Amino acid sequence: MVVGDFPIETDTIVIGAGPGGYVAAIRAAQLGQKVTIVEKGTLGGVCLNVGCIPSKALISAGHRYHDAQHSDDMGISAENVKVDFSKVQEWKGSVVNKLTSGVQGLLKGNKVEIVSGEAYFVDSNNLKVMDDKSSQTYTFKNAIIATGSRPIELPTFKYSERVINSTGALALKEIPKKLVVIGGGYVGTELGTAYANFGTEVTILEGADEILPGFEKQMSSLVKRNLKKKGNVDIHTKAFAKGVEETESGVKVSFEVNGEEKTVEADYVLVTVGRRPNTDELGLEQVGVELTEKGIVKTDKQLRTSVSNIFAIGDIVEGPPLAHKASYEGKIAAEAIAGEAAEIDYLGIPAVVFSEPELATVGYTEAQAKEEGIEVNASKFPFAANGRALSLNSTDGFLKLITRKEDGLVIGAQVAGASASDMISELGLAIEAGMTAEDIAMTIHAHPTLGEITMEAAEVAIGMPVHIVK
């Protein structure tokens, strides 16, 4: 790093190299800008290093172990199936390393300057980048803030060796015998399921009426039922965690359900109650960037903040903390800086949970459409009527297509079932392209595939289903 009072000039500086920041930097460079990206940690941010990617690797490994022990109904049985958890963690690390090194290669390939250190705004055209040894001033024309978020720490559950967040849960050196999960949202459900598949006794405490409260009840109920079927998962909804007592070998968690106080002992307690935006140590207030009371950056439809040449994307702006949302916003911000008429449209952004079965939603739900006064048809097709789902022995679930009643326009969809995370992309495309149910029904889908379920639901929507009785 260059040290001294002579600032380094750049066109666009991006703060944070997660899935929002590195994508923004690459797109800005592709559009002809001289780009510098600043990252205080590891390239790839939370998602690639301690979030999306390692969690899905752990989930995948858990599935392999569970399936090896529970495939008797397919005529497959195995004895003495073992887990070497250190090798699981080593493999998970190799997946992460491949992706983070790939990000570095992509940035260098697009001639983006990579700088390590913490960024602090001096004014609307200058910031300092500091590390343990030195600092350097950068002068910029535009800036994109993509600093992400961190897990919320509860006052009564201070993080320790036994009270852990999602990062700690992904770094455990052994499979816990017992695990308490506070928060039954997507992170808690995913990691709780992964460890349950490895044989851990899991207790989930969720304050809402159902786990996965962001999804429709008919979807989350499928997940809840499958978790209970495992025999080693205990779920308490409308439960309020009160405190934790750490012992030499674990924790004792107290919680309240229906006015009754209970306790549960475990090796660890995993706290997954949300995330807080990383906007508190950047000097934003002195530059004039407006924040909400929760530290969220206020932006317009081009992700421009109250300071016209400073943009913000990802977890630090309104909306769910999704990696693909951050990447999408990064492209919009970079294009806006380049003078293009790009602006955000969140209708086509999907949300996915890698639960059992997987859940995915995009666009409007039936309830949301009705709240906005849109008359819709909700057309469902079950996985149990699909040949590929039967051959996969994965018949739990359904696909629901939300279409506008007046013209059949696709405005939303919900999928609960195997590979829902992959199937939702076609439905997002349908919304983005302004397709109708007839367009999907007329599209020839390969047989036998789970993708046919989308076509079949569209045929239900137009009133001519083939593989279920109307």
- Active-site positions read 447
- Closest among 84, 214, 189 to 179, alpha carbons compared: 189
| Angle, in degrees to the nearest 10, between helices 186-197 and 217-229 | 20
Binding site membership: which residues?
56, 147-149, 183-190, 206, 274, 315
C-alpha to C-alpha distance for 250 and 267, rounded to whole angstroms: 4
Query: Cis bond leading into 213, ω under 30°?
Result: no
Tokens representing residue 410 in the block? 């696709």
- Residue 233 bridge partners (DSSP): 202
Q: Which amino acid is present at 377?
A: N
**Cβ atoms within 10 Å, residue 22:** 29
Strands, DSSP E only, in 111-259?
113-116, 118-123, 126-130, 135-145, 149-151, 163-164, 178-182, 201-206, 233-237, 239-246, 251-257
Binding site membership for FAD: which residues?
56, 147-149, 315
Query: Cis bond leading into 155, ω under 30°?
Result: no
C-alpha to C-alpha distance for 203 and 187, rounded to whole angstroms: 14
CA neighbours closer than 13 Å in the CB half-sphere of residue 8:
19
C-alpha to C-alpha distance for 7 and 136, rounded to whole angstroms: 7
Alpha carbon 456 to chain centroid, angstroms: 28
C-alpha to C-alpha distance for 313 and 304, rounded to whole angstroms: 9
Enumerate residues 6+ apart whose C-beta is below 8 A from 116: 1, 38, 39, 40, 131
Binding site membership for NAD(+): which residues?
183-190, 206, 274
